[in-house]
C-alpha cells in the first residue's frame, strides 16, 4: 500500500507542481537567474576593459554560417545570439503571456487591466521623456530603449525581501513586466523594421496557418511545432522583420490543452494504482520483479504526459535554459562597455544618456504608478488585495531596471559605436540607480510598518 500512497502523492504532485504553483517556480527561476545575469554583466565589463582581453569584440564578431543547397546564411556570433537565441527567449515570454492570459493574472479583465495599465504608463512616460530630451538629435531613434523592464533582474531585486512583501506584489511586478515585454515586441516589429520582403511574409503566413491547423487538429507532438517554428524563424529572418518576433508568433499557437482532461486522467491513474497488489504489507522494489507493476508505472507516466499541456511542458523545459544560459550569454555578449571609449563628462550631459537614465529612473515609476492609480480611480481595475500604494511605488522603481530589453533595443537603434557605448553606459547606470532606489524605498516602508 505504501507504493500506492507514493503514486497518489505523485499524482498530487502533478497538480501542485505543474498546475497550482507555476508562478512560484517562475519567480524562483527569475530570481536565481538574476545572479547569473549580474555575474555575466560584471564579467563582460571586466573583459572589455582590460587590454589582455582586447579580443572581447573580435570574438563576438566572428562570422559563423551554414549552407543549405544554394542558400547561405552567415552572421556574426553576436547576431546569432541576438537573432537566434533571443528568439527562444521571446518564445518563452510568449508562452508565459499566453498562460497568464488563460489562467493567470491577465485572465480576468479587472485583474488584467491593473498590470496592463501599469505597463502602458511604464512605456509611454519614459518614451516621452526620452523623445523630449533627444528631439531632433542623431540619438532620437533610441526612444524605445527605456521602455521595457528586465524581469529577471526585477524579480531578483524583489526576492531580497523574501516574505516581507506580499506575494501579490511579485505577481504584479511579473505581470506588468511581461505586458511591457509584449509591447516592446510590437514596437520592434512596427518601428525597427527597415525593409520588408513580402514574399517571405507570405511564406511566413502559410507556415503560421499550418501551425494553427496543427493546433486545431489536436496534434500534440512537440517536434511538429519545433519544425514549423524553425521554418517560421527562417522566413521572418529573410522578411526584414526582426527574427525574434517569430518566437512570439509561434508561442501563441502552442496548444494549451492536454490530450486528457483532468477527469479522464484521475480515472486512468486510479486504474493504474489498482494494479499494485502485493502479498505483503510492502511491495518493496517490485518494479524490478513484477512486470505488471512496471507496466502500470509506465502507463501512469504516459497518463501524466497526456494530461500535461504542450504549453506547460515547453515552458517547463525551456525556462531554465533561457534563465540560466541564454540571458547570461546575451549579457556577456552585449554588456561589454569599454570605459576607455567613454568620455564621462560628455556622457553625463549627452541627450542620449540623460534620456535613458531619466526615462528609467523617473519615467518608469511615474508612468507605472500614475496609470495604475488612474485605472483604479476610474474603476476599470482593482488594487490587488493586501497591496498598498507604497508597494506599487517601490515595485515601479524596479520597473526601471531595463537591462536586457534595453540593451536589445539599443542594438537595433544605433550603428554608431559612440552612441552604442553611451546607451550601454546609461542603461547600466539607470538600471543600478532604479534597483537601489526601489530597495531603499521598500526597506524604509517595511521598517516603518514594523516600528
SS (H, E, C) 330-361: HHHHHCCCCHHHCCHHHHCCCHHHHHHHHHHH
Question: Is 199 inside any structural domain?
Answer: no
Answer whether residue 208 is part of any domain. no
Based on the fold, state whether residues 24 and 134 are members of the same structural domain.
yes
pTM, two decimal places: 0.75
> Which positions ≥6 away from 63 have C-beta within 8 Å?
74, 75, 76
> Could you give the number of structural domains in the chain?
2
CA distance 173 to 188: 22
User: What pLDDT is attached to residue 52?
Assistant: 57
Parent domain of 163: 2-192+242-258+308-450
List phi, psi (to 5°) of 104: -105, -145
Do 287 and 431 have their domain in common? no
Give pLDDT, residue 94. Answer: 84
Asked whether residue 167 falls in the same domain as residue 294, the answer is: no
The answer as to whether 203 is a domain residue is no
Distance CA 393, CA 18 (A): 32
Q: How many CB atoms lie within 10 A of CB 84?
A: 15
Tell whether 146 and 286 lie within a shared domain. no
Q: Are residue 115 and residue 27 in the same domain, yes or no? A: yes
What residues contact residue 396 under an 8 Å CB cut-off, 6+ apart?
118, 122, 364, 365, 367, 368, 369, 372
Question: Is residue 138 domain-resident?
Answer: yes
> Do 269 and 133 lie in a common domain?
no
The answer to whether residues 139 and 285 belong to one domain is no
What tens-digit pLDDT sequence spans the chain (451 residues)?
A: 444 454 445 444 444 444 445 555 655 666 677 788 888 888 888 888 876 556 777 888 888 887 777 767 788 888 888 888 888 988 988 888 788 778 776 677 777 789 889 999 999 999 999 999 999 999 999 999 999 888 778 888 887 887 788 878 887 888 888 788 778 878 887 787 777 788 888 999 999 999 999 988 888 888 999 999 999 998 988 887 778 788 888 998 999 887 777 788 888 888 877 777 776 667 777 777 777 778 888 888 887 777 888 888 888 888 888 888 988 898 888 888 777 767 788 888 999 999 999 999 999 999 999 999 999 999 898 888 788 999 999 999 999 998 888 888 898 889 888 898 899 999 999 999 999 999 999 998 887 766 6
Same domain, 35 and 172: yes
Q: In this structure, what C-alpha cell is assigned to residue 220?
A: 500534440
Q: Are residues 78 and 158 in the same domain?
A: yes
Q: Are 256 and 99 in contact (CB under 8 A)?
A: yes
Phi, psi of 219 (to 5 degrees): -80, 125
What the block records as the C-alpha cell of 367 is 508612468
Rounded to an integer, what distance in angstroms lies between the CA atom of residue 425 and that of residue 412? 16
Same domain for 420 and 327, yes or no, is yes
Residue 56 shares a structural domain with residue 117: yes
* Degrees, nearest 5: CA angle 82-131-156: 50
Residues 341 and 268 in one domain: no
Please report whether residue 84 resides in a domain. yes
Residue 95 pairs in a beta bridge with: none
CATH code of the domain covering residue 148? 1.20.1530.10
Amino acid at each position: 500500500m505504501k507504493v500506492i500512497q507514493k503514486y497518489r502523492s505523485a499524482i498530487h504532485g502533478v497538480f501542485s507542481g505543474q498546475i497550482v504553483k507555476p508562478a512560484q517556480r517562475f519567480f524562483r527561476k527569475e530570481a536565481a537567474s538574476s545572479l547569473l545575469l549580474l555575474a555575466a554583466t560584471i564579467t563582460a565589463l571586466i573583459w572589455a576593459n582590460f587590454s589582455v582581453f582586447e579580443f572581447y569584440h573580435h570574438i563576438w564578431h566572428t562570422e559563423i554560417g551554414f549552407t543549405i543547397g544554394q542558400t547561405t546564411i552567415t552572421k556574426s556570433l553576436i547576431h546569432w545570439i541576438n537573432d537566434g537565441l533571443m528568439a527562444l527567449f521571446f518564445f518563452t515570454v510568449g508562452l508565459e503571456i499566453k498562460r497568464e492570459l488563460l489562467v493567470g493574472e491577465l485572465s480576468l479583465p479587472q485583474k488584467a487591466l491593473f498590470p496592463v495599465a501599469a505597463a502602458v504608463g511604464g512605456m509611454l512616460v519614459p518614451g516621452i521623456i526620452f523623445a523630449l530630451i533627444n528631439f531632433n538629435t542623431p540619438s532620437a531613434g533610441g526612444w524605445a530603449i527605456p521602455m521595457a523592464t528586465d524581469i529577471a533582474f526585477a524579480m531578483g531585486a524583489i526576492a531580497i525581501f523574501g516574505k516581507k512583501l506580499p506575494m501579490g506584489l511579485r505577481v504584479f511586478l511579473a505581470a506588468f513586466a511581461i505586458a511591457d515585454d509584449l509591447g516592446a515586441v510590437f514596437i520592434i516589429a512596427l518601428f525597427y523594421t527597415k525593409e520588408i520582403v513580402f514574399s517571405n511574409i507570405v511564406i511566413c503566413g502559410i507556415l503560421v496557418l499550418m501551425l494553427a491547423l496543427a493546433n486545431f487538429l489536436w496534434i500534440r507532438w512537440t517536434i511538429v511545432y519545433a519544425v514549423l517554428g524553425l521554418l517560421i524563424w527562417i522566413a521572418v529572418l529573410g522578411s526584414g522583420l526582426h527574427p525574434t518576433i517569430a518566437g512570439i508568433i509561434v508561442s501563441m499557437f502552442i496548444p494549451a490543452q492536454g490530450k486528457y482532461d483532468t477527469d479522464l486522467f484521475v480515472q486512468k491513474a486510479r486504474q493504474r494504482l489498482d494494479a499494485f497488489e502485493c502479498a505483503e504489507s510492502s511491495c518493496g522494489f517490485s518494479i524490478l520483479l513484477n512486470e505488471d507493476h512496471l507496466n502500470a508505472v509506465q502507463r501512469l507516466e504516459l497518463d501524466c504526459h497526456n494530461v500535461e499541456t504542450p504549453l506547460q511542458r515547453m515552458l517547463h523545459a525551456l525556462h531554465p535554459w533561457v534563465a540560466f544560459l541564454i540571458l547570461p550569454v546575451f549579457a556577456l555578449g552585449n554588456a561589454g562597455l569599454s570605459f576607455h571609449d567613454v568620455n564621462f563628462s560628455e556622457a553625463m550631459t549627452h541627450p542620449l544618456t540623460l534620456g535613458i537614465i531619466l526615462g528609467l529612473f523617473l519615467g518608469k515609476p511615474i508612468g507605472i504608478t500614475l496609470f495604475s492609480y488612474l485605472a483604479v480611480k476610474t474603476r476599470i481595475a482593482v488594487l490587488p488585495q493586501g497591496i498598498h500604494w507604497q508597494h506599487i511605488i517601490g515595485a515601479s522603481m524596479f520597473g526601471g531596471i531595463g537591462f536586457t530589453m534595453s540593451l536589445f533595443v539599443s542594438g537595433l537603434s544605433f550603428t554608431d559605436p559612440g552612441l552604442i557605448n553611451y546607451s550601454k553606459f546609461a542603461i547600466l547606470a539607470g538600471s543600478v540607480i532604479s534597483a537601489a532606489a526601489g530597495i531603499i524605498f521598500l526597506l524604509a516602508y517595511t521598517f516603518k510598518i514594523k516600528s
